[in-house]
Chains A and B, each alone.
Chain A
């Protein structure tokens, strides 16, 4: 899992070639509670690093989803739109949100690795 990076907005990013697979972390789902609705960016649209790229709603509140890297959306995960509970069940694997073709792969460098993120998540929840 060393190729997975994490953002301060609690997204995970896995790079395959120049395509990044992006989802939200287990820690994020624990903070959100039961997710009941998700809105994903349109396929073919361009998103900018740290810009919004969707919405998740729990029973409690709506939260924006941010993209930690820039690029063009090449695929979105319809499974989680049809059954948002899957995000709580398997957030860091099958319940990915979208795939994007990265504009600049070096944007990955500024993101956290797993150890750094775990520490960050622990501190931010205190």
Chain B
């Protein structure tokens, strides 16, 4: 299969990107500055992320759409205001996660942001579950650019007017020059930030304007260290069809109002909320500087295997190795001592609080 490229490919190349294949796209893993400095720049200033590989699914409104979408997603859409976003899941009948996503109610329907590797499958599942009653469009003509960091607001307001009044997990239509764009205040780094949906032909000039105002391009490598420090899940690593949102410690994203309703996996979700789960996603910090990466086995003090790491890296802002993984719930309480098997040696570690790095979302304006 041919590798796809985003509208920013030339800009990536001219900024010294190391390009890798990711979910069928040629994407920058890092630029010439490297992952550590890109990570730190995002935390202290603001970084630009090309996330155009992600799916932008637009569902045109028609009578009963909200009700029908509630049969698919465990989220309260009836009370969702126009231009408000919620984090949710597409699940199978066992409560396993096909994808995690952001759903935004817009004037003409709903906009759902999907993971790149899942988007085609999600499209099929959602279309089928909606019985072909609605018009679905997986946008090919729009790029998606994320601007993340404490400086994001000040940079973006120089390029897009009135952006500073946008609230966290809310969106709106704005203008970049004469071009209509859709902007949400959201992101996946633990920092304040925005995600901008913009026509492909304007993506490069828009990104150049952000660069001229003091931001830098940041690759997928730093995106991974940033999201892991913020305790956020990477689909395919930390959540998949074998884990439920409750096991993934994402119960907060299941709307309380929807607990008695029917949606795929609803019975299992309800049961798990009421009687608990066997395994739970936790944060893990090794005592030494050694890194426990995905698939590292986790043991208890009696040397019994109790789980496995699903993501692990060095956290540049916490200046320590950090991991997330699933353990037997009996061993999931804070400060439980565990052992990680790394290159044949058992390394001591502790179950710790998520996120590793305090989130800096701007919730009140």
Whether A34 contacts B36 in the complex (CB less than 8 A), given A57-B291, A60-B29, comes out as yes
Chain A residue contacts of B105, Cβ below 8 A: none
B283 at interface, CB cutoff 8 A: no
Q: B221, A33: Cβ atoms under 8 Å?
A: yes
Cα(A61)–Cα(B316), bound, Å: 15
Q: A62, B35: Cβ atoms under 8 Å?
A: no
| Most chain B beta carbons < 10 A, residue from A58, A61, A88 | A58
| A 14-33 binary contact with B (CB < 8 Å = 1; else 0) | 00000000000000000001
Cα(A36)–Cα(B30), bound, Å: 16
B293 at interface, CB cutoff 8 A: yes
Cα(A58)–Cα(B18), bound, Å: 15
B42 at interface, CB cutoff 8 A: no
The B interface, classified by DSSP as helix, strand, loop or mixed, is mixed
Q: A62, B30: Cβ atoms under 8 Å?
A: no
Q: B289, A60: Cβ atoms under 8 Å?
A: no
Chain A residue contacts of B314, Cβ below 8 A: 36-37, 57, 59
Chain A residue contacts of B34, Cβ below 8 A: 33-34, 88
Question: What's the nearest-Cβ distance from chain B to residue A93, in Å?
Answer: 20
Question: What's the nearest-Cβ distance from chain A to residue B317, in Å?
Answer: 12
Q: Which residues, 25 to 61 on A, are CB-close (under 8 Å) to B?
A: 33-34, 36-37, 39, 55, 57-61
Q: B290, A60: Cβ atoms under 8 Å?
A: no
Chain A residue contacts of B94, Cβ below 8 A: none
Q: A62, B291: Cβ atoms under 8 Å?
A: yes
B303 at interface, CB cutoff 8 A: no
Contacts A33-B221, A59-B39 aside, 15 further interface pairs with beta carbons under 8 A come to A33-B34, A34-B34, A34-B37, A36-B36, A36-B291, A36-B321, A37-B289, A37-B290, A37-B291, A37-B314, A59-B35, A59-B314, A59-B316, A60-B29, A61-B293
Give 23 A-B contacts (CB < 8 Å), ordered by A residue.
A33-B34, A33-B35, A34-B34, A34-B35, A34-B36, A36-B36, A36-B291, A36-B314, A37-B289, A37-B290, A39-B290, A57-B291, A57-B314, A58-B35, A59-B36, A59-B39, A59-B221, A59-B314, A59-B316, A60-B29, A61-B293, A62-B293, A85-B36
Cα(A60)–Cα(B36), bound, Å: 11
Q: A60, B221: Cβ atoms under 8 Å?
A: yes
> Which 4 residue pairs spanning A and B have beta carbons closest together?
A36-B314, A34-B36, A59-B35, A34-B34
Chain B residue contacts of A33, Cβ below 8 A: 30, 34-35, 221
Cα(A85)–Cα(B8), bound, Å: 31
B343 at interface, CB cutoff 8 A: yes
| A 52-75 binary contact with B (CB < 8 Å = 1; else 0) | 000101111110000000000000
Chain A residue contacts of B36, Cβ below 8 A: 34, 36, 59, 85
Chain A residue contacts of B291, Cβ below 8 A: 36-37, 57, 62
Cα(A126)–Cα(B67), bound, Å: 54
Chain B residue contacts of A85, Cβ below 8 A: 36
Cα(A33)–Cα(B16), bound, Å: 13
B225 at interface, CB cutoff 8 A: yes
Q: Which residues, 233 to 286 on B, are CB-close (under 8 Å) to A?
A: none
